[in-house]
Amino acid sequence: METRPENVSLDDFFIDGGIVVVQFQVHERTVLLATSPFQMTTDYRITVHGAGEKDLMPDGVLDSFVSEKPLGCRLEHSNTVFRLFAPRATQVHLVLFEKHDDRSGMEYPMTKGRDGVWDMVMERTLNQHYYGYRIWGAPHRTELFNPDWIVADPYSSAVVTQNHYLHPAKTLILPPSIFDWEGDAWICPDLEDLTVYEMHIRDMTVHPSSGVQREKAGTYLGLTETGKTGGIDYLRSLGINAVELMPAQEFGNLEIDYRNPSLPVYNDWNPYARNHWGYMTSYFFAPESYYATGGNLIPGQYCGSDGRQVREFKEMVKAFHRAGISVIMDVVYNHVSHYDFNSFKAIDKKYYFRLDGNQEFQKTSGCGNDFRTERPMVRRLITESVLHWMQEYHVDGFRFDLATLIDSQTLDAVSQKAREVNPRVILIAEPWGGGTYGQAPFSRRGWGSWNDRFRNGVKGQNPHGGLGFVFGQWWGDNSPRSMRHFILGTPEGEGGPFAKAGHSVNYLESHDDYTFGDFVRIGSVRVREGHAVTDLLANARLTDAELNIHKLGALFLLTSRGATMLHEGQEFARSKAIAKTDIFDSMVGMLDPNSYNKDNETNWINYTHADMNSDLLEYYRGLISLRKRFSVFRRAASKNIRFLDCVNPFGVGYVMHAEGVDSDERLAVLMNGHPILEAEFQLPDGHWHVLADRHRSATVALRPLPEPLAVVPPTSGMVLYTPAESVSTVQ
């Protein structure tokens, strides 16, 4: 319990049910108690004289339950073995079904071991059968859930779910994998060599402009189709070398009906009653079945009944690897799905969740059900989930959502176990959550972290009073000095948090907040925040001034040290103007900073808009190629980077060369964030050629610079190279 006891004695404690406190220790605001024997499945309330009442939390006892037995459903010596960790349950039944939509099945009592694991052995194989658990004793009961419900196995490798906000699910038993990987192996570049494309599996191909076959549009397999406008050919042509998949572990994609007073929770915040992005994980080992072919959200129908999602996810990974593209998964272990009948809530609220003093779910994640990652068997589950995706699906890395909500021991366990399997595994943190913040602890573990300082300094923190360098403004405490720090990778030696420049994952746009395109539209005052856009095509097409801002941001991003991340559509200034639907029309045309709930054209990638802004798209392609061609952008040592003086306070320029490369072979990056004034830079002597300017970017010279003096126009940048003898010139 949490309190502030002063001069407390044993006589001041009273626990209902006749339980006696025999010893206690006070640690700051927490009191640890030793008591007479009690029932684990009973909820006791304690009264402390002068300090009030609390529900008793048996943390020490719960943490003592640890098992190394394989959990879930496994084939062992031609027997099918089921194991579930539920230490406070009084009874558990395995319920076996022959069909995915059976309402009832055969029930078999399970046996509980002293380690809290319930097991059941069936002396036969049960491939293509379905099962769940009925649990008595300790499950969390609310008005949302029927206590007689059957829940799927939290270790499910495949689930079939019914389309309803309660997400009814059964575990599908699949035969041992016979998938032919055809020699496929992990692709894990060093962090500093990554150019990551954060993308939503459905968004990338579901729009008709993608050209993907309609039966595959919006699916894992849709991404594998070649010869199409969208999908894998588009990503290959862009030049990125890694995709970061927004959540694809089975999640609660339907929420409670909007403004339905007959339901126990009144939804007045989400008119779409959807969770499109996926940050509500239900099953940590199962691929999302809605993204498989045949997936749908028709009320009452089912997804995943034949398990094709398992094979199709693997086909997607194999296709990306063939294209030389790494696969990083965005994983959510800090909280679980909220409105569905989540297995962990059904198994044991007190074991699996962080609770407040009144035994209610903590919601520092903002989602109402923070996962108790510090529990030993939760730590094991998270670690085994990571290994499952690495070994079964050849996933190359992970981005951990709200990673500061995951305890340090679990982070260390993930690091150790994952690196034992693949020493080069890619580990990236979103380094905030629940009011805590910090990239340094992750960098010390060798992880990358999203660098929001870079984002806020270069682009700005918000488009209505918090604009950054590319707009010719300083947001917060940013300055020419901080721009230099970002270029160097925000390292420790320069006041930053990163032990190594490659640990800084630099970005201007992610799924959160406005797209960079919409940020610029609002920041340049073409669109007023909160006002509807009436002409969507005109809104999508950039003005010349907006194009210049975008190109300058892209040049800054793709020439700075550290890993680089783009979000889907950033390369053509994607706009998320709220689409007209039959559901909710009062905000149609407004630019959406939080489109988590829209499975429609608000989020879907419209490739005709890429054609409209092809100038920007080609500029990104050129810069990505340039970054690949010259490793100095990714790997130059700080001592080999020399910054240039400029009278213009928004003029930032530097010259660099790679370690071991002759000093005559140099690159220069010059940027001018001022919207009116030119920026002039005196370069070292040499034959300088332009590789990028405000119009084009390329790996071959666009033109020679007549003298080592460069004048950079307002809101633009340049990349220069010397010696000229080794560079061919574009005619």
User: Which residue in this structure is represented by tokens 């402009």?
Assistant: 209
DSSP string, 576-621: -BPPP-SS--TTTTPBPS--TT--STTTS--HHHHHHTHHHHHHHH
Query: Of the residues 430, 509, 546, 693, which is catalytic?
Result: 430
CB atoms within 10 A of CB 182: 8
For residues 264, 265, 271 and 276, what is the CA-based torsion angle, rounded to 10 degrees?
A: -110
Query: Of the residues 225, 255, 330, 401, which is catalytic?
Result: 401
- 279/430 Cα distance (integer angstroms): 13
- 337/278 Cα distance (integer angstroms): 9
- Report which of 397, 399, 527, 507 is spatially closest to residue 459, judged by C-alpha positions: 507
For residues 151, 156, 158 and 163, what is the CA-based torsion angle, rounded to 10 degrees?
A: 30
- 510/569 Cα distance (integer angstroms): 10
Going by DSSP bridges, is the β-strand pair 426-429/91-97 parallel, antiparallel, or unpaired?
Answer: unpaired
Q: Determine contact, residues 653/647, Cβ cutoff 8 Å.
A: no
Annotated catalytic residue 430: yes
- 172/100 Cα distance (integer angstroms): 8
Q: Determine contact, residues 510/565, Cβ cutoff 8 Å.
A: yes
Cα dist. 555→31, 259, 511, 609 in Å?
55, 46, 21, 21
Cα dist. 149→284, 337, 418, 673 in Å?
20, 17, 35, 60
User: Which residue in this structure is represented by tokens 């920007």?
Assistant: 616
Cis peptide before 708 (omega within 30 of 0): no
Residue 643, helix vs strand vs coil? strand
- 502/562 Cα distance (integer angstroms): 4
CB atoms within 10 A of CB 420: 10
- Report which of 487, 588, 669, 624 is spatially closest to residue 197, judged by C-alpha positions: 624
- 223/371 Cα distance (integer angstroms): 32
Q: Determine contact, residues 92/41, Cβ cutoff 8 Å.
A: no
Which residues have C-beta within 8 Å of that of residue 42, sequence separation ≥ 6? Answer: 17
User: Which residue in this structure is represented by tokens 């010893």?
Assistant: 23
- Report which of 352, 424, 399 is spatially closest to residue 512, judged by C-alpha positions: 399
Going by DSSP bridges, is the β-strand pair 651-656/666-672 parallel, antiparallel, or unpaired?
Answer: antiparallel
The dihedral built from the CA positions of residue 102, 103, 106 and 107, taken in this order, carries a sign that is positive
Residue 196, helix vs strand vs coil? strand
- 668/646 Cα distance (integer angstroms): 14
CA-based radius of gyration for the chain:
28
Q: Determine contact, residues 605/207, Cβ cutoff 8 Å.
A: yes
- 427/406 Cα distance (integer angstroms): 14
User: Which residue in this structure is represented by tokens 């573990």?
Assistant: 445
Catalytic residues: 401, 430
